[in-house]
A and B are shown apart, each in its own frame.
Chain A
Amino acid sequence: MYTRPREGVGYSGSALVEPEAKRGDVPESQASQPPILVAQDLSRSYGPRQAVRGLSFSLNAGRILGFLGPNGAGKTTSIRILTTILEPSTGSFAVAGIDHRRPEEIRRRIGVLPENLGFPRQMTGLEYLSFFGQLYGRGAGDARSLALALLEDVGLKERGRSLIGTYSHGMRQRLGIARALVNDPAVVFLDEPTLGLDPRGQQELLGLVRRIARDRNAGVIMCSHLLWEIEKICDDVVILSAGQVIVSGSVRDVIGRSQRGGIRVTVPPASLAEAQRVLEAAPEVTNVAPVPELPGCLRMDPANAGSAQDHALNNKVLEGLIRTGIPILGFGTEGGRLEEVFLQLTDKAIK
């Protein structure tokens, strides 16, 4: 049974993101548990075309796994296989120990927010959630109470009795997440949950996702094209390209694989030549050159490869410019972001 939500639990974005230092580490309690979802060598073909090849990974309870890949990489097909909408051509998977050959049992244990979920416009949010609660075997009264609690949790309490046809896109996404939770799932699949939402809506939804994993101890698989979002809330990541896993692991480990790049400094375009001269004279950097597409931007490599994250070196570069009185409009280092890892790996895979 459930109880009423705690007082003061909200979704105001900033408080919802976990400290970065904690991400990527598997807590001892989770490490000792068997994975809640295990996929082994999953493949799916459409005629001669293989949409997914040899997909293997595992997910622990309470962790969020980001599913990444360019368009057509096989993310949605993978999600559809894991949610029993499609049968795998080869391979197997299990959710909470239930083999994929028992799809109805698996569906009792998963919650899904598909990429394009339609809603009956003539139903209210409350009726919609009550209906799905009943489909999962709850009595009418029980389903209604759960629906009310879920509506409150996703911030739709005030609009629960309005027709879904009057909901905004963000409200529908939140209703979709509430629908995915009616059966208290062990694994929650979210396909592009923040697609089309405004920045505040994105923050609120990501906070909700984090709470689902933390408070329900559910494994969450989240597909997204927004890499900052995956980097921000996911513990683990799987990157797909052309239907194959090209890298998987904790977000921290995957980011650690990126090639450390150069340094970029932005100065007023009028000072570009002078800044270039100063930097070329500095022994810490080499290959100083303007970035043609960015006016006033200079790119350079550290003289010792792999030291772009060296703060002392960066300070010396900046000191040289400051001494000559050149205004510094921007400074940044390349590498160390999931976006760059993604672009490097998918580019290699495509080539």
Chain B
Amino acid sequence: MSAVQSSGARRVGPAAGASPIWWLVFKRELGELWLGGKALYLMLVYTVLMGLYAWSLATNTELNLLPLKEMVFEMVKAAIAVSLFICLIVGAESVSGERERLTLEGLLLTPASRGELLVGKFLAAASPWPVALAIAFPYWRAVSQGDAVFERAALWGAVVGSILAPAFAGLGMLISVLCNTNKASMVASLAFYLVFLLPTTLAGPPKIQRSAALWLKQYLLEWVNPMASSNRFLQRVLIDNWPAADVGILLTMPVVFLCLTVVLLVQHGAPALRLEAGVAERVRPYWAWVAGLWHSTAGFASRSPSRG
């Protein structure tokens, strides 16, 4: 009897010793990501960027005047920012890319639950972070020039990145689940990334403002941005030598952001993992509601006595 022939009694359930589906998907995604070359290429770019940044810190006369701890802090901040971007775009490509390559349908046709598929993809999307961290260590060590700040940088850089990297990978995946094309997914992800990144680069540290209210506003804006608050945490720990426990509150938002992303991915991403994203279908009821509200408001305004 050939394999094309039926075995008679059809097998319908998983056999004993079968691997969990999330693990199978994770392994396949890792293979595609790393052996396929996509992640390797991104890591190469990351390594070059890190090298250039470390070189400029060491040779640029102005940057060279920075205290050692600040240089290490800048390197840690840069490594994390670039790693988050890599995790975000790997996540952003994970579902919409499969839609574009027409490989998603094959996966959706298996008995695997959507949640298990997403978990496997999520873990693979976060996989660039440990590699990026391993690449960053020698640079951090070189810049710290044997100072004890390297140990704190290695520990707290790893902690902060390990919270933020999966969160950004998850955010990218959420966007990817809702987009039919990679282009849309990448553009939306880039927009989100800039929303998080720009406040950390454009605005300086909270300064003493003329009023306490203004200072509080600035402080809150920084606190709600997980990238900004984790940068502040690293600054306090690495440069100001504050005990981590004293500024641990600054890691609240990164942790909340990670939890929120995972919950959204499981609760809303899994049911939305379909052959076509169908965002328009899901937005239509809300749009109809907004349009209705607009019409009724406009109608009310036109009947208003003040308008004559």
- Spell out A's residues near B (CB within 8 Å): 1-6, 9, 47, 80, 83-86, 104-105, 107-110, 112, 114, 116-120, 122-123, 131-132, 134-140, 142, 146, 149-150, 152-154, 179, 181, 183-186, 208, 211-212, 215-218
B155 on the A face (CB < 8 A):
no
CA distance A23 to B277 in the complex (A): 42
By a CB distance below 8 angstroms, the chain B residues around A47 are: 281, 284
> When the two chains form their complex, are residues B15 and A139 in contact, meaning their CB atoms are under 8 A apart?
yes
By a CB distance below 8 angstroms, the chain A residues around B101 are: 118, 120
Shortest B86–chain A CB gap in Å is 20
> When the two chains form their complex, are residues A184 and B11 in contact, meaning their CB atoms are under 8 A apart?
yes
CA distance A238 to B78 in the complex (A): 62
Q: A135-B21, A137-B15 are in contact. List 8 more A-B contacts (CB 8 A).
A: A9-B2, A105-B12, A117-B105, A120-B101, A132-B106, A135-B112, A137-B14, A137-B18
Q: Which residue of B lies closest to A112 (CB)?
A: B109
B3 on the A face (CB < 8 A):
yes
> When the two chains form their complex, are residues A6 and B105 in contact, meaning their CB atoms are under 8 A apart?
no
> When the two chains form their complex, are residues B111 and A107 in contact, meaning their CB atoms are under 8 A apart?
yes
> When the two chains form their complex, are residues B113 and A104 in contact, meaning their CB atoms are under 8 A apart?
yes
Q: Which residue of B lies closest to A46 (CB)?
A: B281
CB-based closest 5 A-B pairs: A137-B14, A118-B102, A5-B2, A149-B3, A216-B6
> When the two chains form their complex, are residues B4 and A208 in contact, meaning their CB atoms are under 8 A apart?
yes
Contact of A184 among B6, B24, B109, B110 (CB under 8 A): B6
By a CB distance below 8 angstroms, the chain B residues around A138 are: 11, 14-15, 18
> When the two chains form their complex, are residues A109 and B3 in contact, meaning their CB atoms are under 8 A apart?
no
B7 on the A face (CB < 8 A):
yes
> When the two chains form their complex, are residues B32 and A4 in contact, meaning their CB atoms are under 8 A apart?
no
By a CB distance below 8 angstroms, the chain A residues around B24 are: 131, 134-135
B204 on the A face (CB < 8 A):
no
The 22 sampled A-B contact pairs (Cβ below 8 Å) are A5-B1, A5-B2, A47-B284, A105-B12, A112-B109, A114-B109, A118-B102, A120-B28, A120-B32, A123-B31, A132-B110, A135-B110, A137-B13, A137-B18, A137-B111, A142-B15, A184-B6, A184-B7, A215-B1, A215-B6, A216-B4, A217-B6
A146-B3, A212-B4, A215-B6 known; A117-B15 Cβ under 8 A: no
Contact of A2 among B1, B35, B103, B281 (CB under 8 A): B1
> When the two chains form their complex, are residues B108 and A5 in contact, meaning their CB atoms are under 8 A apart?
no
Q: Which residue of A lies closest to B3 (CB)?
A: A149
> When the two chains form their complex, are residues A153 and B12 in contact, meaning their CB atoms are under 8 A apart?
no
By a CB distance below 8 angstroms, the chain B residues around A104 are: 111, 113
> When the two chains form their complex, are residues A85 and B35 in contact, meaning their CB atoms are under 8 A apart?
no
B205 on the A face (CB < 8 A):
no
Between B7, B16, B105, B112, the greatest number of chain A beta carbons within 10 A of the residue's beta carbon is seen for B105
By a CB distance below 8 angstroms, the chain B residues around A149 are: 2-3
By a CB distance below 8 angstroms, the chain B residues around A212 are: 4
Shortest A11–chain B CB gap in Å is 10
By a CB distance below 8 angstroms, the chain A residues around B110 are: 107, 132, 135-136
Q: Which residue of B lies closest to A153 (CB)?
A: B4
Q: Which residue of B lies closest to A84 (CB)?
A: B109
A2-B1, A184-B10, A184-B11 known; A118-B109 Cβ under 8 A: no
CA distance A308 to B28 in the complex (A): 61
CA distance A6 to B5 in the complex (A): 10
Shortest A237–chain B CB gap in Å is 24
B42 on the A face (CB < 8 A):
no
Contact of A5 among B3, B6, B106 (CB under 8 A): B3
Interface of chain B: mostly helix, strand, loop or mixed: loop
By a CB distance below 8 angstroms, the chain A residues around B107 are: 135
> When the two chains form their complex, are residues B1 and A6 in contact, meaning their CB atoms are under 8 A apart?
yes
Contact of B31 among A84, A118, A122 (CB under 8 A): A122
CA distance A1 to B11 in the complex (A): 9
> When the two chains form their complex, are residues B10 and A107 in contact, meaning their CB atoms are under 8 A apart?
no
By a CB distance below 8 angstroms, the chain B residues around A184 are: 6-7, 10-11
Q: Which residue of B lies closest to A134 (CB)?
A: B24
Shortest A6–chain B CB gap in Å is 6
Shortest B289–chain A CB gap in Å is 16
Q: Which residue of A lies closest to B281 (CB)?
A: A47
> When the two chains form their complex, are residues A150 and B3 in contact, meaning their CB atoms are under 8 A apart?
yes
> When the two chains form their complex, are residues A116 and B102 in contact, meaning their CB atoms are under 8 A apart?
yes
> When the two chains form their complex, are residues B32 and A122 in contact, meaning their CB atoms are under 8 A apart?
yes
B308 on the A face (CB < 8 A):
no
By a CB distance below 8 angstroms, the chain A residues around B284 are: 47
Indicate with 1 or 0, residue by residue over B203-230, a CB within 8 angstroms of chain A CB atoms. Answer: 0000000000000000000000000000
Indicate with 1 or 0, residue by residue over B231-261, a CB within 8 angstroms of chain A CB atoms. Answer: 0000000000000000000000000000000
B36 on the A face (CB < 8 A):
yes
By a CB distance below 8 angstroms, the chain B residues around A9 are: 2
CA distance A86 to B11 in the complex (A): 25
CA distance A216 to B18 in the complex (A): 24
Between B3, B105, B111, B275, the greatest number of chain A beta carbons within 10 A of the residue's beta carbon is seen for B3
Q: Which residue of B lies closest to A119 (CB)?
A: B103
By a CB distance below 8 angstroms, the chain A residues around B1 are: 2-3, 5-6, 215
> When the two chains form their complex, are residues A140 and B19 in contact, meaning their CB atoms are under 8 A apart?
yes
B299 on the A face (CB < 8 A):
no
By a CB distance below 8 angstroms, the chain B residues around A85 are: 105, 108-109, 274-275
> When the two chains form their complex, are residues B275 and A153 in contact, meaning their CB atoms are under 8 A apart?
no
CA distance A104 to B270 in the complex (A): 14
B17 on the A face (CB < 8 A):
yes
Shortest B41–chain A CB gap in Å is 14
Q: Which residue of A lies closest to B275 (CB)?
A: A85
Q: Which residue of A lies closest to B103 (CB)?
A: A118
By a CB distance below 8 angstroms, the chain B residues around A217 are: 6
A135-B24, A139-B15, A183-B11 known; A107-B2 Cβ under 8 A: no
CA distance A119 to B104 in the complex (A): 10
> When the two chains form their complex, are residues A83 and B109 in contact, meaning their CB atoms are under 8 A apart?
yes
By a CB distance below 8 angstroms, the chain B residues around A137 are: 11, 13-15, 18, 111
By a CB distance below 8 angstroms, the chain B residues around A183 are: 11
Shortest A112–chain B CB gap in Å is 5
